Amino acid sequence: MSETIDQGLPESLFADFALDNGVRRGLPAGAYWESDFWRREQARVFDRSWVLAGFVHELTEPGQAIPTRVGGRPIVLLRNAEGDIRVFHNVCRHRCLTLVDGAQKFERGITCPYHNWTYDLNGALRATPFFGGPKQHRPADFDPKDHGLVAVRHFVWHDWIFVNLDGAAPPFADYAAEIMGRVADVDMARFHPVAMLDFGEVATNWKFLMENFMEPYHVQYVHKTTTDQPLKDHHTVVDGLCLGSAVDIAPSRTEAAAGRNSLAVTSRYLTLFPSFVLGTYAPDQMGVYLNQPVAPGVTRQKRAIYLIDGDTRPESEVAALRELWAAVHQEDHDMCVRLQSGRASPVADGGGVLSPHWEDSVRRFQELVVEAVR
């Protein structure tokens, strides 16, 4: 796949994206809006990695299907009759149009609206009406076994459905070893989803949402009313494919902030390359972002909010939590939209500069992108 995409692209196009080891400059502007770079990211980052595609808890019952895209490629997440999660490329094997066009529940099979080809919930092709002629559904040399839905390799980690499109990434437990190690003390099974925030499309490249999440430098300025987490109490996390930051808050500060709708707890802000985001907020809350690149300058984002089992806070407090996180994301989105907008300036061709202390996780993220696309 990547070979054909590479054809015709001069190497000089990518020479511009080399990172200078002396000055910590950022990626040049084109990495955020050029279509060639975008296609390379699809083929070399999103096809080859383990990527969050959706949430188990949204597939409520057998037959439930949710179409989505990973790196632009259409896939469908579904729960089969046995209750297992299955993931397929979301195209009919006949004419390759997208098969499932909205979240829905299938009672028996999935029928393509174009010529009524029908698949069961395990992807097997069950009907090809009149494909061979007026009275013949199956041509003599046509074996339906060769034309079932194409499965996508997937792995379920707690509530999160990860996919690996090219099927060649290391096993998920190896790929995600660093982030799993960093949350090994969190009993994930005790957390349950209480809310989902859907921010729709944000006018920014997916990388800006990631870079913004993993650096603590902006928090004191951008989130000055929504958080109470001093910069000095943060450290960054640069650990293999797990990049981010963490902050330790003294219990007295957490107590002092009680009653204000502001985040003042010991937290970890972790990512798994390329686009998975996990926040832990001790002792009772977690959040996960689904970041979905749509176009070079457009990313869809959702946030799932989790609380620990036995949490008895009233609905009004859950509503306050939704409001808090909606405000925090809006503050970040405002900056990420401006980061994207600024990339139209020739000044941004140089990539700006990164703090060697607070933005080393951003730096490493950008190196991982460059290593993948080169």
Give alpha helix (H) positions in the chain.
2-6, 11-15, 30-33, 35-41, 172-175, 177-182, 206-214, 219-222, 251-257, 315-342, 360-373
In the complex, least distance from residue 362 CB atom to Fe ion, rounded to whole angstroms: 13
Instruction: Please provide the DSSP assignment of 302-330 as one string.
Output: EEEEEEETT----HHHHHHHHHHHHHHHH
Q: Is 84 helix (H, G, I), strand (E, B) or coil?
A: coil
In the complex, least distance from residue 301 CB atom to Fe ion, rounded to whole angstroms: 13
What residues between 87 and 106 interact with Fe ion by CB under 5 A?
none
Q: What is the DSSP letter of 354?
A: -
In the complex, least distance from residue 7 CB atom to Fe ion, rounded to whole angstroms: 40
Q: Mask 337-356, x = binds Fe ion (CB under 5 A)? A: --------------------
C-beta of 79 vs 333, nearer to Fe ion: 333
Rounded to the nearest 10 degrees, the angle between the axes of helix 315-342 and helix 206-214 is: 120
In the complex, least distance from residue 176 CB atom to Fe ion, rounded to whole angstroms: 23
C-beta of 89 vs 234, nearer to Fe ion: 234
Q: Is 2 helix (H, G, I), strand (E, B) or coil?
A: helix
In the complex, least distance from residue 28 CB atom to Fe ion, rounded to whole angstroms: 24
Q: Phi, psi (5° rounding) for residue 61?
A: -150, 165
What residues between 178 and 207 interact with Fe ion by CB under 5 A?
none
Answer whether 24's CB lies under 8 Å from 361's CB: no
**Token pair belonging to 315:** 């609905």
**Token pair belonging to 359:** 């933005």
The single residue listed with the structure tokens 């080393």 is: 360
In the complex, least distance from residue 317 CB atom to Fe ion, rounded to whole angstroms: 22
Q: Please give the size of the binding site for Fe ion, defined by CB under 5 A.
A: 1
C-beta of 41 vs 332, nearer to Fe ion: 332
C-beta of 70 vs 336, nearer to Fe ion: 336
Q: By beta-carbon distance, which residue lies closest to Fe ion?
A: 332
In the complex, least distance from residue 357 CB atom to Fe ion, rounded to whole angstroms: 17
C-beta of 157 vs 208, nearer to Fe ion: 208
C-beta of 47 vs 332, nearer to Fe ion: 332
Question: CA 354 to CA 323: how far, in whole Å?
Answer: 31
Q: Mask 315-334, x = binds Fe ion (CB under 5 A)? A: -----------------x--
Q: Mask 278-317, x = binds Fe ion (CB under 5 A)? A: ----------------------------------------
Between the alpha carbon of residue 368 and those of residues 15, 238, 306, 337, the distances in Å are 15, 12, 29, 23
C-beta of 211 vs 332, nearer to Fe ion: 332
C-beta of 332 vs 360, nearer to Fe ion: 332
Q: Is 265 helix (H, G, I), strand (E, B) or coil?
A: coil
C-beta of 159 vs 332, nearer to Fe ion: 332
The single residue listed with the structure tokens 């949710």 is: 66
Q: Is 228 in the site for Fe ion (CB under 5 A)?
A: no
Q: What is the largest CA-CA distance in the chain?
A: 79
In the complex, least distance from residue 213 CB atom to Fe ion, rounded to whole angstroms: 7
In the complex, least distance from residue 224 CB atom to Fe ion, rounded to whole angstroms: 11
CA 255 to chain centre: 33
Q: Which residues form the interface with Fe ion (CB under 5 A)?
A: 332
